[in-house]
Amino acid sequence: MSQLFSPHDLGRLPLKNRIIVSPMCQYSSVDGLANDWHMIHLGHLALSGAAAMFTEAAAVEPEGRITPGDLGLYDDATQAALGRVIEALRRQTDMRLGVQLNHAGRKASTAAPWDGGKRIGADQGGWLPSAPSAESFTHGDPVPAELDDVGMLRIKEAFAASARRAHALGLDMVEVHAAHGYLLHQFLSPLSNHRTDHYGGSLANRLRYPLEVFAAVREAFPQDKAVGVRVSATDWVDGGWDLTQTLVFAEQLRKLGCDFIDVSSGGLTPHQQIVAGPNYQVPFAARIKETTGLPTIAVGLITEPEQAEAIIATGQADAVALARAMLYDPRWPWHAAAKLGAQVDAPKQYHRSQPRQYKHLFKDLPE
């Protein structure tokens, strides 16, 4: 029996199999509003046979967007726009649905990648970013405003408010984004956090604000639903955030009721030296799972069914999350199930597409 297609409870989140669609920024919103692109993009991925899917990262306030085209979940209008998409998905699939909540911090106010990804000013629809410390992401960028207690409280309450909106939309899970060099990661890493108050300096101090944000989200989202955290296990820079510190962070999250850790890496600094290759981030997920007992999600250059099967079968992670591989092949779970001799859910409208050599591929086919 394929372990990749076995059911599993990811903390409080029951899954039909171990495949998750990762949150993937689309940079296609206007004023934070989901639109027809999101309906099409998420709609076809919802038919993939994966057990769960995250929408793209949703900013918890307008200034927390990476680009002006980022999705938001910070007011009634953004909630209603995303709700239209979620309602359509619910009518067509029973897969678990979630949202990743984010604040970009000093990496905010940039152009979309296909427009160069550089910092943009107010004349181009941008704004002044804020951060733990007044230090820009790259040399020559505008220096971000250092957050004071009032600003930090505002953002923490914004995370909680967005979690309440996620519940109102009927979502099954929330993932707090503390990775890829965004605001919460900026607080964690000594490379970006140079504060001299009780939110900077020692590891305990650097953990404080991300843990406060997580606790606020956990309290705001119903206890029978799952809340997890996306982490960068290492900055890939000497003297930066690393796996040892990540393990301490994960243990503190576990004590606060975290359901899973989604394990990525990098993104904090352009000086990172990433050694990338198939499964290059999987050992981080395995170590976090082994040390803390928390369920983990493995990501990063996982492209082949046999590769994903081995990750689950050897206990290195509890689930795998696919991004680019899923965009390239939106029926990746179907093809993986065919290779591994497993079964997968498919819409009844597509049942006749089942190849003859895989006549038992789809579940619930009529005799």
Q: Which residues are catalytic?
A: 182
**Torsion of Cα atoms, 303 then 306 then 308 then 313, to 10°:** -170
Per-residue tokens: 6 = 């076995």
Nearest-angstrom CA–CA distance, 233 and 136:
22
d(CA 113, CA 94) in angstroms, rounded, equals 33
User: Element (H or E) spanning 158, and its range?
Assistant: helix 149-168
- In this structure, the chain runs to a length of 367
Single-letter amino acid, residue 46:
A
The residue written with tokens 């000013």 in the block is 121
Query: Given the structure tokens 């082949």, which residue do they identify?
Result: 304
332 touches 302 (CB < 8 A): no
Angle between the N-to-C axes of helices 76-92 and 36-45, in degrees from 0 to 180, rounded to the nearest 10: 30
Q: Are the C-beta atoms of 131 and 184 separated by less than 8 Å? A: no
Report, in this order, helix, strand and coil percent for the chain, each rounded to 5: 40, 15, 45
